[in-house]
Structure 1
Amino acid sequence: MRRLPLFMIASLAFAGLLAGCKPEAPKHSAPSQSALDIMEKVAVGANRCWFKSGDPAFKAYSLAPELTSFSGRPRILLVRKNSADIRPLLVVQAEGKPARLDAFGPMMNEAVAPRIRKDVVRWANGAKDC
């Protein structure tokens, strides 16, 4: 029996871990709206409910909306507040018409992930509540 090199075994194990960590994407039901329409609603809701309200779950982060996108994927990013590390911890984006909504990043593997998913879907569907 032929043995696999250690780097191949490690690569396969890492790929398996990544596949198991992919969170479920938020689902919404707004078939006639564009990605930009959806993401404008989500950005307003996130800004109002997560940041302007002083929500403790989001106090360490700041919102970076990127709604004007030439890629056709308007999005919002959450980054660490007052940090030189600009890598996003959460990306919420929409694409296409009807819009397909997606949320990913390290925060989607934390305890706040179900709340993020629920809030994003609610705002994407037009709700304005927090």
Structure 2
Amino acid sequence: MSVHLMSVAFSANLPDTEIPVSGENHTVKASTLKFVLLALADHANDEGRGAYPSIDTLAKKTSMSRRTVQRALDALIQLQIIKCVGTSEYGTDNYSIFEAAIYRGDSGTKAVGGVTLGQEGGDSGAVKSVPESPESS
């Protein structure tokens, strides 16, 4: 477990990233990328090597579906933040995490704007206020 890489991942400014899925583009949200990167960093050493958790392990750790984890890993590879460097002795993919790529921020991948699509204005729910306390005498 690399606390250092986990700290770096927490501070990462990752973009929403489009990846090809069955001939169409699919957007992987920045929050999904960050959480999967954090889970992967939890398995790596401080140099970013030796991270070979199974897809099931990452899915369980992040409470995401296997497919969402796979798409996030594909996007992190596309962003050149991680690289699959082989297969572990357990048959799982072995990843390296590139700290410099996390700091780099913009890797040239097309990012989607950081606003919620289809929403105008602010909060649509009822807003409650707290009554003021009486003045002391």
Q: TM-score, normalised by structure 1?
A: 0.30
Bigger relative contact order, structure 1 or 2, given CA contacts below 8 A and separation 6+? 1
Q: Which structure: larger Rg? A: 2
